[in-house]
Each structure stands twice: as C-alpha cells, then as structure tokens.
C-alpha cells in the first residue's frame, strides 16, 4: 500500500454546473484559462460527484511511485461521476521538453473522455494565434498517451482510497 499526503478540498457542486461531456469540458477548460491568466497553475485532479467536487493537489500523487495507479484510486470512490486532470503540463520527447501546455482531460466511468490543450508562451500565457485543441472519444480520436483508463484500472485492481489523519473540508 502506497501512502501519499495530499492537499484536498471539497466544494459544493454548483447546481448550474453542466453534466454533458462538452458542457462539463468547456466549463472546466474556462476555469483553467482564467487561472492561467492569473499566473502559475499547479496540476489538479477533480473528482466530480453529484453534489460535490473533490479538489486534489496532483503533484504529490504524481511523485508517489505509480502516478496512474494513484489517480485511478480517486476514480474508485463510490459515486464518482467523472475525474478531471487539469493544469499546466510539460510535454517531453526523448527526455527533452518540447513545450508547456494548459490541459484538461476528463474521463467518465464508461470510458468516454474529453480533452483540450493549448500551448503556452515563454511567460506562461496562452500562445496567441493558436486555437485550443479539443479531442473527444465520441469522435474516434486517439486517447492522449498516459491519460485516462482510471475507472477501468480502479475496477480491475479493486482499488480503494483509505483516508487517514487530518481534516477533510
């Protein structure tokens, strides 16, 4: 069993916050774009439930052994209707950084996914003159490498989170 200490918050889910794939993706993407406009953004995991969103600081999960398994553990929570990874990510090719991107990837328990990314300039702002790239499973697009499959893995490995210590808001 791997132990990871994470910062975690729960926020009531706005009843007007959308449920559909494109609507949810666009809403999460819009919030990320606003955050990028204010300065550096840490990667975050958002577990979406019917009435609450669970916000998880992602870097400790990524640093703890098997990051895919760590994220999949959050998908194992009863009642999770979607899981989203959002933030500024670095893309590498052969160990060399090829760019920084604002990115949102959302997955649903049935394997559907939605993603959007946009390259950043040297100052960390959205690169002007470039459109955001939206990809969706329902269009037959290939899933971005290393992302998703979290709900399937949680079911297959029978993963479960065990909460310890500190208060959870």
Is residue 161 domain-resident? no
Q: Which domain holds residue 15?
A: 8-156
Summarize pLDDT for 7-24 with one digit per residue, the tens: 778 788 777 666 788 888
Is residue 3 domain-resident? no
Summarize pLDDT for 158-169 with one digit per residue, the tens: 988 877 665 544
Is residue 139 domain-resident? yes
Q: Is the pLDDT of residue 2 over 70?
A: no
Summarize pLDDT for 57-107 with one digit per residue, the tens: 888 888 887 888 889 999 999 999 999 999 998 887 888 888 899 999 999
pTM of the entire predicted model = 0.89
Is residue 2 domain-resident? no
Domains contained in the chain, number? 1
Is residue 169 domain-resident? no
Q: Which long-range contacts (CB under 8 A, 24 or more apart) does 20-26 make?
A: 21/106, 21/108, 21/112, 21/114, 21/136, 21/138, 22/114, 22/136, 24/48, 24/82, 24/106, 24/114, 25/104, 25/106, 25/114, 25/115, 25/116, 25/134
Is residue 168 domain-resident? no
Is residue 40 domain-resident? yes
Is residue 66 domain-resident? yes
């Amino acid at each position: 069993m791997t132990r990871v200490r994470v910062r975690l918050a729960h926020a009531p889910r706005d009843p007007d916050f959308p449920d559909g794939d494109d609507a949810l993706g666009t809403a999460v993407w819009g919030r990320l774009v606003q955050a990028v406009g204010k300065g550096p953004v840490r990667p975050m995991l958002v577990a979406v439930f019917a009435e609450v969103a669970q916000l998880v600081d992602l870097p400790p999960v990524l640093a703890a052994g098997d990051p895919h398994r760590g994220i999949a553990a959050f998908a194992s929570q009863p009642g999770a209707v979607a899981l989203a990874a959002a933030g500024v990510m670095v893309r590498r090719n052969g160990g060399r950084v090829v760019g920084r991107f604002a990115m949102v990837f959302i997955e649903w328990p049935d394997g559907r996914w939605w993603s959007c990314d946009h390259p950043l300039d040297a100052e960390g702002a959205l690169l002007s003159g470039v459109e955001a790239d939206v990809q969706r499973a329902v269009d037959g697009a290939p899933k971005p490498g290393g992302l998703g499959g979290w709900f399937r893995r949680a079911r297959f490995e029978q993963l479960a989170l065990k909460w310890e210590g500190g208060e959870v808001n």
